[in-house]
A and B are shown apart, each in its own frame.
Chain A
Amino acid sequence: MSQAPIRMRVNGSEVARTVEVRRTLADFLREDLGLTGTHVGCEHGVCGACTVLLDGQPVRACLLFAVQADGAEVTTVEALGTPEALSPLQQAFTDHHALQCGFCTPGFLMSATALLRDHPRPSTGMVREMMGGHLCRCTGYAAIEEAVKAAGA
């Protein structure tokens, strides 16, 4: 079969669709649900721009098929805050100039969200270990590390 019905929770809301089985979770979120905050950079799991939380774990949405998320809880950057009301983590990114073009940012935010949830005061090593799974072409990373630490403190 090449199409399948799926049902999942995305950012707390129940979603039901029928999708092609080869549809990646990243494309499903962006194209089928209009949640374009999750970005598609490399499509082979290296850049991290597509990172979302699947049942709370930071994962590459470009390396998952939407059908695999059937029955799961997916969290995207849209869940963190709004332009009018940034989350403390998002505010820290703004305050510390941890983004410029913003393309990599949603991925960093999702990984940082998982990290700070599990380790509210992460060591430098832990921050670097988690953020190491993301590429940024603009900032040089130092500001991102500061922002994540500041958000945890």
Chain B
Amino acid sequence: MKPAPFGYLAPRRRLDALEALNEYGVDAKVLAGGQSLVPLLAMRLAGLAVLVDLNRIKDLAFIRPFGEGLAIGAMTRQRVVETHRRVVGRIPLLAEAVRCIGHPQIRARGTIGGSLAHADPASELPAAAAALDAHFVLASVRGERVLNSEEFFVGYLTTALEPDELLSEVRLPAFPPDAGWSFLEIARRHGDFALAGVAAVLRLDGDRRCTEARLVFTGVGPGPVRIPQAEQSLLGQAVTASTVAEVARIVQDRLDPPSDIHASAAYRRQIAGVLAGRAALQAVERIRERR
């Protein structure tokens, strides 16, 4: 279980990385935290001619205000995202999602950009990013383009990144002050990939009726999954045990999750519905706590 031989570049400047990707295209892979890529190389499930190591490029790791929201550089370590005062203060859903990733030893090297670009269907960050209406900055020698979550996450382990493109930055809009949030997942052991998980953002009006609901699931499809009918069922309603039971029912009815060695489709469907209900209630509780 050793990687097959490959060429190696460790540019110190972003432009040099982009030029390498331009030159090598599909024969190159970028190395961010390595917590997903290196196992694939070791097991020879992925091969490459050239590894472009991004870890020497200092200006790819940052957490900056972006309006009232945040811009986070793709190479920012998950460990840093988890505890950074700006993340915890402005967008706590993101910190909570990162806390569910693996273990501290993984988060010490894993990066936010690497996880998003890898787009594992049972990972936390794609669902959290979609719930937060994240935008993704894709850089190449041709310039930059910015995509939303729907555009970025294309399918199973697949994003809109072209072979010569790098995810350089994630932009998160301001988290609405009147919104509540929740991030919940069920895994067999703490640190495992989610059997199912949900990132929830809810807003209530002055009469405590729901004006906006985003429930983004992980572990139940090829990428982050939303069930519009479930979200719509809450609009104009109070968020109570009985209204969220309806949300859970619709989720369970409409989801089409996979069966695999970790869980059956039926089980995933069941727990996704339960988590949706709990997340909605917890999000509303967080609004109440702030008032």
* Distance in Å: Cβ of A63 to nearest Cβ of chain B: 4
Determine if B7 and A62 form an interchain contact, defined as CB atoms under 8 angstroms apart: no
Determine if A62 and B42 form an interchain contact, defined as CB atoms under 8 angstroms apart: yes
Determine if A152 is an interface residue (Cβ-Cβ < 8 Å).
Answer: no
Q: How far is the CA of A129 from the CA of B106 in the complex (A)?
A: 12
Determine if A133 and B1 form an interchain contact, defined as CB atoms under 8 angstroms apart: no
Determine if A143 is an interface residue (Cβ-Cβ < 8 Å).
Answer: no
Q: A63 — which chain B residues lie within 8 A by C-beta? A: 34-35, 38-39, 109
Stretch at the interface among B97-105, B246-254, B269-277: B97-105
Q: Please pick, from B6, B51, B105, the residue contacting A48 in the complex, using a CB distance under 8 A.
A: B105
* Distance in Å: Cβ of A129 to nearest Cβ of chain B: 6
Q: B53 — which chain A residues lie within 8 A by C-beta? A: 67-68
* Distance in Å: Cβ of B90 to nearest Cβ of chain A: 24
Determine if A60 and B109 form an interchain contact, defined as CB atoms under 8 angstroms apart: yes
Q: How far is the CA of A22 from the CA of B4 in the complex (A)?
A: 7
Task: Name B35-61 residues within 8 Å CB distance of A.
Answer: 35, 38-39, 41-43, 51, 53, 55
Determine if A11 is an interface residue (Cβ-Cβ < 8 Å).
Answer: no
Determine if B6 and A22 form an interchain contact, defined as CB atoms under 8 angstroms apart: yes
Q: How far is the CA of A63 from the CA of B190 in the complex (A)?
A: 21
Number of A-B contacts (CB under 8 A): 88
Q: Chain B: interface secondary structure?
A: loop
Task: Name B78-131 residues within 8 Å CB distance of A.
Answer: 79, 102-106, 108-109
Q: A111 — which chain B residues lie within 8 A by C-beta? A: 104-105
Determine if A101 is an interface residue (Cβ-Cβ < 8 Å).
Answer: no
Q: A68 — which chain B residues lie within 8 A by C-beta? A: 10, 34, 53, 55
Task: Name B8-32 residues within 8 Å CB distance of A.
Answer: 8, 10
Determine if B5 is an interface residue (Cβ-Cβ < 8 Å).
Answer: yes
Q: Please pick, from B5, B10, B38, the residue contacting A45 in the complex, using a CB distance under 8 A.
A: B38
Q: How far is the CA of A48 from the CA of B108 in the complex (A)?
A: 13
Q: Chain A: interface secondary structure?
A: mixed
Q: B102 — which chain A residues lie within 8 A by C-beta? A: 133
Given contacts A45-B39, A64-B34, contact A2 B108 (CB under 8 A): no
Determine if B1 and A21 form an interchain contact, defined as CB atoms under 8 angstroms apart: no
Map CB proximity to B onto A23-64 as digits: 1 under 8 Å, 0 otherwise: 010010000000000000001110010010010011110111
Given contacts A21-B51, A43-B1, contact A4 B8 (CB under 8 A): yes
Q: How far is the CA of A65 from the CA of B2 in the complex (A)?
A: 11
Determine if A132 and B39 form an interchain contact, defined as CB atoms under 8 angstroms apart: no
* Distance in Å: Cβ of A67 to nearest Cβ of chain B: 6
Determine if A20 is an interface residue (Cβ-Cβ < 8 Å).
Answer: yes
Determine if A138 is an interface residue (Cβ-Cβ < 8 Å).
Answer: no
Q: A48 — which chain B residues lie within 8 A by C-beta? A: 103, 105
* Distance in Å: Cβ of B79 to nearest Cβ of chain A: 8
Determine if A130 is an interface residue (Cβ-Cβ < 8 Å).
Answer: yes
Given contacts A21-B51, A45-B35, A132-B191, contact A60 B8 (CB under 8 A): no
* Distance in Å: Cβ of B26 to nearest Cβ of chain A: 20
* Distance in Å: Cβ of A21 to nearest Cβ of chain B: 4
Determine if A43 and B42 form an interchain contact, defined as CB atoms under 8 angstroms apart: yes
Determine if B65 is an interface residue (Cβ-Cβ < 8 Å).
Answer: no
* Distance in Å: Cβ of B170 to nearest Cβ of chain A: 22
Determine if A16 is an interface residue (Cβ-Cβ < 8 Å).
Answer: no
Map CB proximity to B onto A89-111 as digits: 1 under 8 Å, 0 otherwise: 00000000000000000000001
Determine if B3 is an interface residue (Cβ-Cβ < 8 Å).
Answer: yes
Q: B2 — which chain A residues lie within 8 A by C-beta? A: 22, 24, 27, 43
- A residues with a Cβ closer than 8 A to B are 1-2, 4, 20-22, 24, 27, 43-45, 48, 51, 54, 57-60, 62-65, 67-68, 111, 128-130, 132-133
Given contacts A2-B8, A48-B105, 8 further A-B contacts (CB under 8 A): A1-B8, A20-B5, A22-B4, A60-B35, A62-B38, A63-B39, A111-B105, A128-B190
- The 7 A-B pairs at the shortest CB distance, nearest first, are namely A133-B103, A44-B39, A21-B8, A57-B108, A63-B38, A133-B105, A43-B1
